[in-house]
Amino acid sequence: MSSESEKPFHRVAAVSDVPLGSGIQVTIDDDDLALFNVGGEFFAIDDLCPHRGAPLSEGFLEQDKVFCPLHCFDFNLKTGACQVASHLSVATYTTKVENGDVFIQY
Ligand code: FES
């Protein structure tokens, strides 16, 4: 059994690859994740919107939420919860920054 803390961190980008207030798509083990820079803090969630599959990395950021580019459902970057449709959610992942690089635990 592997616990959350045993999962490795993967370098996915340089800090400079993700401008403040934006998101990019990154890939770990063939899985697409969305990485966001909110005020210098990095958040990672699944890139695939659970509603109809749009890329959340292309969504619109507002405070600690991203709004899907297709139908504007909101997803909290810290919890993955969706307020508009409470039965939907995305996974969230731990991030860290070291020496100018961004890592995601996955
Ligand atoms: S595809 Fe994301 S809200 Fe519809």
Q: How far is CA 85 from CA 43, 48, 75, in A?
A: 21, 15, 10
The residue range of the domain holding 38 is 4-105
DSSP 8: P
In this structure, the residues whose C-beta lies within 6 A of any atom of ligand 1 are 49, 51-54, 68, 70-71, 73
- Chain centroid to Cα 41, Å, comes to 11
Q: Which helix (H) or strand (E) holds 46?
A: strand 41-46
State how many domains the chain has: 1
CATH number at residue 13: 2.102.10.10
Question: Which of 46, 60, 73, 89 for mutating ligand 1's site (highest number of atoms within 8 Å of CB)?
Answer: 73
pLDDT at 2: 53
pLDDT in tens, the chain (106 residues): 555 568 999 999 999 999 999 999 999 999 999 999 999 999 999 999 999 999 999 999 999 999 999 999 999 999 999 999 999 999 999 999 999 999 999 9
- Nearest Cα residue to atom 1 of ligand 1: 52
